[in-house]
Amino acid sequence: MKKLIAIVSVLAMLLALFTVPAMAEEGPIRIGTIYAMSGGNAAIGENILRGIDFAVAEINAKGGVNGRMLEVVRGDHAGDPAQGRSEAERLITQEHVDVMMGCHMSVVTEVVAQVCTQYGVPMITAISTLDKLSDPDHEAMDYFFRLCPLNSVYVKDMLEYLKDSSEQTGEEIKTIAIFTDRAAIGQELIRCVELFKDEYGFDLVATVDYSLCDSYIGDATLFVQTLKAQGFTPKMIVAKANGFTDPAFLTNLGSAANGVASVVEFNPDLINGQEINEAFKAEYGVNMNGHSAESYTVVWVFKTAIEAAGTTDGAAVRDAIAALDIQGEFPGGRKIVLPYDRIKFENYDLAGVTHYRDNTSASVAIAQVQDGEWKTVWPFSFTDTKIVYPAPLQ
Amino acid sequence: MNNNVKAVRAYRRNLSIALGLILLVFVLIPVFVKSPYVLNVFVLIFYMSTLSMAWNLLGGMTGQNSLGHAAYMGLGAYASCLLITKAGANPWLSAIFAMVVVGLVAGVIFYPCFILRGPYFTLVSIAFGEAMRQFIINSSFFGRASGVGLPFGKDSWLDFRFASKVPYYYVGLVMLLGIYLLMKKIERSRMGYALRTIREDEDAAAAIGINPTRYKVMAVVVSAMVAALVGFFYASYIRYIDPELMTQAKSTESVLPAVVGGAAYVEGPLVGGLIMIPLSEFLRARFSAMLPGINMLMYAVVLITVIRFRPTGILGWYMRSKVKEFIDVKLLKKPPVEVFEAVELEKNRGKGA
């Protein structure tokens, strides 16, 4: 019996050793990242992490932040909210990250943002677009900021493009139809078009939603192939990224894709993105995509905020992010590489609902497939390429 | 009083002290362990083991391999979340509601399915899980693919909402113990014997007056209700649910602790959960950043190794091992079987007179 007591008390003491040592304002500044690195979404996670690594290398080469180097600590959520929560807690309490970036799926972002707010760790999402992450239910989630445009801004920009296009095509667009999937992203598209269509004076003539067949890329390919097979050629097709901006889209369809336009967060031919894309391509052998460009930018936002705060203290960095107003370029000379020229996190009114801590200047660009390549065609001030109209689809 | 009775009593006392000490360690862990991450791993162990116990009632005790337990858990989570967010109900009441609803759904759907045997039941359970998931993805009442979140707010026992892990730890522990005692009770009851008889030979069971369909439906209802309870706990803990909760992979996760621990034993899921969940967390924390996905590969290797070399699970091996012999004889002073028999005989003779 005594032996048993001894064994149990040793076990109890071992467990007590799990307690946490204190943090310090020295050594590298640690950026926690929580993305899918395994499972079906690992490819997306890879692009994001490349953007982060690229920015970190660039900043460290110039002497780091407040004299300290940046270091990336990676977590893997594998697409699961429970695992995201687990990883957030591990990165914060075991790895002592100073700031957090994530995630790819908005559901996981929501859970991770809650954990970050609870521990007072500033978090910026580079790519989570679901509107409700910043709606009034999340007012108290005050350590969480969003750089990328909201879903509704994506849709608003698509409508804006359709309206602006008359400037180049000479023909005004009056009617639109929606074709989308029944998953969260597709449902958001329908909701947003209905929200803004009257503002732009469009007549919504049909809404078709269907269960995603197989994958976004599979569906995008089938969609264009079927249009061709049926001999139907709408004058304009504007896609909301996903399968359409997958590299395999152009390979699958060849010239059949000519004329299809899509939302892009970044494109290599953007006027302020060309230089960075060259450097990125030299490093990784692929073009920078929207996800890499946005996560690249978030690292720069953190750098600027931590320098402004003069410390990595969570509350101070949060206040610095909230006070940030970057116009055109970051201090130190790096231009904003995305299709907008200001970064400022604000509370604002969106279609009658207050939203919190979003980058209100964020917008997307529209690119069109021309001669088998994505060419930026909108906003007009960020490109020299003109819209091809009507879409040839051949 | 003779020595035999004394020996048996001493053994029982030692056994309860040992179990009490183990329980005490678990009760004291949050006092010593301050790291929320480590506590989180324990909370994971508690609810995953409970879910696995629910599976084990069907898979282990009754021999009906279900691969749809994530659907019961997901339905339970949805039922309680929707009751809280749409009707403003108290979370604790919503837990009861979720259990009743999911129990009913499981009973009604599976009643006709028990005409099917063996792999056909498994196939139906897979189809059930996927059908439920698709139903939720396509229903705006359930929030479609975007899921449902529980409201934020101050710590409150009434709303079962805390910033700290400690309350979740204790509630999870109580849930685990409660369900364990329930399973132990079922195992020793008439129902337990009936279920095991059905597992061994359904026709023989029917021949000796056990109604297999009745008992199988009872098992599926209890199992689904426990899974729904876990769903409620999960939703209150993670505070956000979406249909991904009900995927096939999640159902498989609920089977693993039982199979690794030993599906023939009520304790199997506990042992399996205590080993596999920390292992999975450790592998991810240690290796996933080096080479993404390598942690899952290593997890799979461990899993295959256990199943290949210990097909009856860790408990199946332990029950015949020298370790058990050492603990029983040296630490707990367990008397030989004959002594137990003698005491039993003595008792019965006493009753007779």
Residue B274 falls inside a structural domain: no
Tell me how many domains chain B contains: 1
Taking the CA of residue B137 and the nearest CA in chain A, the distance in Å comes to 7
Question: For residue B86, how many other CB atoms are within 10 A of its CB?
Answer: 10
The answer to whether the Cβ–Cβ distance between B21 and A82 falls below 8 Å is no
The fold adopted by the segment(s) A29-149+272-359 is Rossmann fold (3.40.50)
Taking the CA of residue A11 and the nearest CA in chain B, the distance in Å comes to 8
Residue B46 falls inside a structural domain: yes
Residue B38 falls inside a structural domain: yes
Distance of alpha carbon B246 from alpha carbon B74, whole angstroms: 6
Q: Which residues 207-236 on chain A approach chain B with CB closer than 8 angstroms? A: 211
The answer to whether the Cβ–Cβ distance between A45 and B296 falls below 8 Å is no
Residue B184 falls inside a structural domain: yes
Distance of alpha carbon A369 from alpha carbon A300, whole angstroms: 31
Determine which of B239, B284, B287 to mutate to test the interface with A (most A C-beta atoms within 10 Å): B284
Distances (CA, A) of B84 to A350, B139, B231, B235: 27, 18, 14, 11
Type of residue at B320:
R
Residue B291 falls inside a structural domain: no
> Looking at the partner chain, which of B28, B44, B239 has a beta carbon nearest the beta carbon of A12?
B28
In CATH, the number for domain A152-264+365-382 is 3.40.50.2300
The answer to whether the Cβ–Cβ distance between B239 and A111 falls below 8 Å is yes
> Looking at the partner chain, which of A42, A111, A184 has a beta carbon nearest the beta carbon of B145?
A184
For chain A, give the number of residues.
Answer: 394
Residue B345 falls inside a structural domain: no
Residue B90 falls inside a structural domain: yes
Q: Pairing state of beta strands A238-239 and A261-264?
A: parallel
Q: List for chain B the helix, strand, coil content (%; round to 5).
A: 80, 0, 20
**Smallest Cα–Cα separation from A133: which of A155, A112, A119?**
A112
Contacts of A92 in chain B (CB under 8 A): 37
Tens-digit pLDDT string for chain A (394 aa): 555 555 555 555 544 444 444 445 678 999 999 998 877 677 788 889 999 999 999 999 999 999 999 999 999 888 788 889 989 999 999 899 999 998 988 889 999 999 999 899 999 999 998 888 999 988 989 999 999 999 899 999 999 999 999 999 998 999 999 999 877 778 888 989 999 999 999 999 999 888 766 667 888 888 998 988 888 888 899 998 888 888 788 888 888 899 999 999 999 999 889 999 999 999 999 899 899 999 999 999 999 999 999 999 999 999 999 999 999 999 987 899 999 999 999 999 988 899 999 999 999 999 999 998 999 999 999 998 999 988 888 7
Distance of alpha carbon B273 from alpha carbon A350, whole angstroms: 46
Distances (CA, A) of B193 to A13, A90, B95, B197, B200: 42, 44, 29, 6, 11
For chain B, give the number of residues.
Answer: 353
Q: What are phi and psi of A209, to 5 degrees?
A: -120, 145
- The interface pTM score, or ipTM, of the predicted complex is 0.70
Size of interface A-B (CB pairs under 8 A): 130
Residue A93 in tokens: 């309490």
Domain that holds residue B124: 33-259
Contacts of A90 in chain B (CB under 8 A): 37, 281, 285
> Looking at the partner chain, which of B38, B44, B234 has a beta carbon nearest the beta carbon of A18?
B38
CA angle A190, A196, A198 (to 5 degrees): 115
* A152-264+365-382 shares the fold of A29-149+272-359: yes
The answer to whether the Cβ–Cβ distance between B138 and A82 falls below 8 Å is no
Contacts of A93 in chain B (CB under 8 A): 35-37
Taking the CA of residue A294 and the nearest CA in chain B, the distance in Å comes to 21
Distance of alpha carbon A115 from alpha carbon A124, whole angstroms: 13
**What is this structure's pTM?**
0.80
Residue B283 falls inside a structural domain: no
Q: Which residues 44-103 on chain B approach chain A with CB closer than 8 angstroms? A: 44
Domain ranges of chain A: 29-149+272-359, 152-264+365-382
Radius of gyration of chain A (CA): 23
Taking the CA of residue A5 and the nearest CA in chain B, the distance in Å comes to 8
Unique residue bearing structure tokens 């439906």: B217
Unique residue bearing structure tokens 């992490």: A49
Give kind and range of the element (H or E) at residue B46. Answer: helix B36-56
Residue A308 in tokens: 């402004």
